């Protein structure tokens, strides 16, 4: 992938959609695989999350019980940890910066955060060129919690306004579910069609390129290099325009002969211009409003995947400062952050049992909302397979536990990743870097990766060589 002036170089759309081919040379009608990351706050209560034994899943622990209906489509992974060092960070910032990066070290310097590329952005850089948006980062994020990084010093902001997210996905186009069978059948023909030259943008670019090439002959070597960099950015824009035009043509054909899945558009979007605090502040005090917000964000993920707007979505849900009246039914405390500290200790037996039960109730509540998302994906037919079959969802917390722990994170993988993942399992590793999971995920998406974060340098690296045996 090449970047310049905010543009992204794209490979031809149809070729990369259908990499599998039969012997006769005809393309197989197969939807792409999507990556979703669903991050919650506050860690978990491990004894109510982690199955007692490795191997086939039997009865799920109480926090995971909302996923019982999808047990054959989930894999519980335990024993994964982060070991990256921190500099000038508080405990929440430390956990957040390690969360999806697995960096060997993270820090804050001059008010700026430094970590490493995150797994979602590594995936987006490779497969994001095949969609209108390389990735989406949505939900409650920022401040102490920064999960996604394009590079060591480039934090990716999350959008918390559902209206703006929807408008970004569908500005200037009508939502439509791709007809994967038709696209596969027409892919070779459509891919061979020459681009049209009737757009104003393309005409301006042609003129710029022509004049720049004439100018180049009269420049010195240094100025020629500057001009080459400029031309590279212009060509990137040109390629993006060509990609967008090709996608628009495909969307029009899909509108005429839509795919088998039916779109459900969100009905409760905020009015345009609504301040973000009016949207997010009620989630801090009212669990019902909080749940509605999470459902709306999850619907954005589903819609983004279903319309192939992007194949990489990171959703940040929850807030350590939320109140949970009605969700928590024990004791008197309802403030999540307070409960996290009271309910966690170096040994669970030393923690306040009432606060620990309250934390268990909160995380079962989060899982119920994640399970609703899984059910929606499972119900969407993409022509013989479900959207869940063609996705891999990572359900995780940015802390291992509410005491800022970074050992033995709660991890669930949902979906079959296009048939590459087998569910119904608990994979229990004695000690392994979380980065190994991210490395395995990238390879699962066809992104050759030998090292990610601290996969080879963590104190938990051992002789795993950056891998998680048995995962794939």
- β-sheet bridge partners, residue 414: 74, 393
In the prediction, which pLDDT does 258 show? 80
In the prediction, which pLDDT does 239 show? 72
φ, ψ (nearest 5 deg) of residue 364: -65, -35
For 126-171, where are the E strands, in sequence order? Answer: 136-139, 149-151, 154-155
Q: Give pLDDT tens digits for 366-400.
A: 999 999 999 999 999 998 899 999 999 999 999 99
Instruction: Give the Å distances, CA to CA, from 165 to 74, 134, 206, 317.
Output: 28, 14, 33, 15
Tens digit of pLDDT at every position of the chain (472 positions): 333 333 333 333 333 433 443 333 344 458 999 999 999 998 899 999 999 999 999 999 999 999 999 999 999 999 999 999 999 999 999 999 999 999 999 999 999 999 999 999 999 999 998 999 999 999 998 888 999 999 999 999 999 999 999 999 999 889 998 888 887 777 644 444 444 555 555 555 566 666 676 776 777 777 777 767 766 666 666 677 777 777 778 788 888 888 788 888 988 899 989 999 999 999 999 999 999 999 999 999 999 999 999 999 999 999 899 999 999 999 999 999 999 999 987 677 788 999 999 999 999 999 999 999 999 999 999 988 999 999 999 999 999 988 888 999 999 999 999 999 999 999 999 999 999 999 999 999 999 999 999 999 999 999 999 999 999 8
In the prediction, which pLDDT does 251 show? 82
DSSP state of 385: S
Are the beta carbons of 367 and 396 closer than 8 angstroms? no
CA 313 to chain centre: 3
In the prediction, which pLDDT does 392 show? 98
In the prediction, which pLDDT does 9 show? 31
- CA triplet 53, 58, 59: central angle to 5 degrees? 105
Neighbours of 273 (CB within 10 A): 6
In the prediction, which pLDDT does 248 show? 75
In the prediction, which pLDDT does 190 show? 45
In the prediction, which pLDDT does 405 show? 87
Domain 34-178+265-444 fold: Alkaline Phosphatase, subunit A (3.40.720)
Number of H helices, E strands in the chain: 12, 15
Q: First and final CA of the chain: distance in angstroms?
A: 26
In the prediction, which pLDDT does 202 show? 55
Boundaries of CATH 3.40.720 in the chain? 34-178+265-444
């Amino acid at each position: 992938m090449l970047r310049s002036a905010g543009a992204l170089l794209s490979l031809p759309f149809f070729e990369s959609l259908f990499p599998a081919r039969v012997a006769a040379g005809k393309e197989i009608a197969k939807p792409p695989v999507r990556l979703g990351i669903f991050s919650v706050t506050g860690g978990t209560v491990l004894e109510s999350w982690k199955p007692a034994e490795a191997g086939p899943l039997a009865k799920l622990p109480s926090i995971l019980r909302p996923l019982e209906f999808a047990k054959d489509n989930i894999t519980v992974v335990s024993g994964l940890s982060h070991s990256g060092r921190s500099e000038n960070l508080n405990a929440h910032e430390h956990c957040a910066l390690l969360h999806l990066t697995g960096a060997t070290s993270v820090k804050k310097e001059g008010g700026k955060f430094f970590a490493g590329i995150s797994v979602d952005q590594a995936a987006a850089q490779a497969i994001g060129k095949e969609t209108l948006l390389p990735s989406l980062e949505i939900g409650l994020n920022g401040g102490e919690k920064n999960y996604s990084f394009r590079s060591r010093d480039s934090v990716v902001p999350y959008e918390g306004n559902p209206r703006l997210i929807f408008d970004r996905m569908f500005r200037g186009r009508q939502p439509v579910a791709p007809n994967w069978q038709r696209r596969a059948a027409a892919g070779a023909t459509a891919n061979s069609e020459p681009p049209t030259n009737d757009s104003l943008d393309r005409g301006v670019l042609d003129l710029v390129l022509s004049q720049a090439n004439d100018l180049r002959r009269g420049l010195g070597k240094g100025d020629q290099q500057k001009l080459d960099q400029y031309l590279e950015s212009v060509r990137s824009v040109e390629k993006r325009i060509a990609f967008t035009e090709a996608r628009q043509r495909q969307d029009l054909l899909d509108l005429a002969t839509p795919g088998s899945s039916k779109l459900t558009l969100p009905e409760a979007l905020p009015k345009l211009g609504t301040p973000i605090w009016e949207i997010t502040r009620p989630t801090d005090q009212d669990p019902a409003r909080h749940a509605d917000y999470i459902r709306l964000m999850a619907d954005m993920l589903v819609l983004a995947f279903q319309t192939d707007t992007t194949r990489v979505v990171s959703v940040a849900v929850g807030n350590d400062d939320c109140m949970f009246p009605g969700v928590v039914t024990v004791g008197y405390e309802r403030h999540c952050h307070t409960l996290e500290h009271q309910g966690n200790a170096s040994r669970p037996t030393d923690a306040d049992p009432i606060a620990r039960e309250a934390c268990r109730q909160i995380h079962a509540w989060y899982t119920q909302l994640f399970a609703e998302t899984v059910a929606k994906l499972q119900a969407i037919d993409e022509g013989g397979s479900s959207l869940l079959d063609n996705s891999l969802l990572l359900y995780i917390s940015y802390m291992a536990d509410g005491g800022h722990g970074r050992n033995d994170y709660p991890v669930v993988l949902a979906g079959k990743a296009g048939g590459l993942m087998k569910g119904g399992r608990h994979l229990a590793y004695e000690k392994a870097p979380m980065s190994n999971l991210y490395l395995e995920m990238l390879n699962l998406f066809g992104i050759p990766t030998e090292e990610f974060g601290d996969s080879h340098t963590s104190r938990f690296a051992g002789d795993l060589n950056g891998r998680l045996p048995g995962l794939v």
